[in-house]
Amino acid sequence: MKYTVLLSFLLSFSGQYSTACSSVIISGKATRDGRPLMWKNCDTDNLNHSLIYSDDKGLPLLGIVRNSSADEATASIWTGTNAKGFSIMNTLSYNLTENRVTSSNGWVMRRALEVCGNVPDFKAFLDTLPKPLQVESNYGVIDAEGNAAYFETYPDGYRMIDVNDPATAPLGYLVYTNFSYTGFYDKGEGYIRYQTVMHQMVKQAPSKNFTPQWIFNKLARCFYHSLMDADFTDESTMASFKNGYIPDADFIPRNSTASSTVVQGVRKGENPELTTMWTVLGYTPCSIAIPSWVKAGRDNAPLLMRGGENYTSQMCNRALELKATVFDVSRGHGQSYLRFSKLHNREGTGYMQQLAPVENEVFGMAAPWIDKWRQADSVDKAEVVELAAEISRFVDENFIINQ
């Protein structure tokens, strides 16, 4: 049967988990409400991620950090946004240089959030950094002025790819995984994931109905496999896998996925503080999205996102507990297989299926407040703190999974 070709990939997976980030920037001209969207699924060897707020060394910011980084003032950041509405993420690239480069991406992104107010600032920031840089990375950036770009950055320089330029992004969006468009041809990694994201994006582009919720459901938790042309949420596909296990083979969410973030920016002329950062901490199929705003400071659903022993996130810890029952084969190459029937099944009891209404309610709770703040062109701090606390209580009370 055609699905068994997946098995031939497994020997190469164990060394690739930390290289598997996927991302998209969607220009405001390609969204129905005119606001840009920036998404990253983060894959790493360190699976404990959390959200921090910091205003210690520059602009106030929110950022995704590894929980081993307890010092909020210095922790490397892997996706984030700041008080000016400047937002940044990255994917590692493996075709910009002939030899792989030791990464300092987390430091670069943190410092950029502290000092950059817009995309031109980030370009100037890269120009001022001493060369050679210890990076080989695709930095994705958006701002409150309508700018959106990727910077394919290597030790001696960078190439800016403008998402607003119809010559390079005719549909108003760009997809990046682990290769760069201007790098060495046919090198790098993430081509199957790239095709999967493109497959999903092309179907949605005509309606312009791109939203954070769509991105989480159709990209971050996508189990369509572009090489196989197989959707594993389809019963006919899973009929070939009698015991519910499938190879963890080039899906967007994978064993190494530690977080997923969508930053929804603002229209040009809107108040930058309206920028909303939606974050799923932990293995995305076993977690839910929580909104946050820089103006709320450390009061963004603190117990769920950041706090407790070793500054771990309760949300991430809960997701990791569920994930352990999905990747429940530990001997040999067992972690290269997932029990997909734990995530999605015909009975509707999969973790993704049980968590979907909880996440839907969170989006529903946030929507009227976001609309109100947009009409006022200002985020009311007392209201956003109240909303954050309400969401935190709701999720804490309803994150109940029948295993």
In terms of phi and psi (left: phi > 0; alpha: psi -120 to 50; beta: otherwise), the region of 290 is: beta
Residue 17 pLDDT exceeds 90: no
pTM of structure: 0.94
Q: What is the pLDDT of residue 70?
A: 64
Closest-CA residue to 244 (of 352, 355, 344, 351): 344
Residue with the two structure tokens 């409150």? 144
**pLDDT tens digits along 341-370:** 999 999 999 999 999 999 999 999 999 999
Residue 328 pLDDT exceeds 50: yes
Q: What is the pLDDT of residue 285?
A: 98
Average pLDDT of the residues in 41-62 = 94
- Coil, strand or helix: which one is 157? strand
Q: What is the pLDDT of residue 19?
A: 64
Report the mean per-residue pLDDT for the chain.
Answer: 92
Q: What is the pLDDT of residue 20?
A: 83
Contact between 27 and 5 under an 8 Å Cβ cutoff? The reply is: no
Residue 69 pLDDT exceeds 70: no
Contact between 256 and 44 under an 8 Å Cβ cutoff? The reply is: yes
**pLDDT tens digits along 250-294:** 999 999 999 999 999 999 999 999 999 999 999 999 999 999 999
Residue 14 pLDDT exceeds 50: no
Residue length, the chain?
403
**pLDDT tens digits along 221-250:** 999 999 999 999 999 999 999 899 999 989
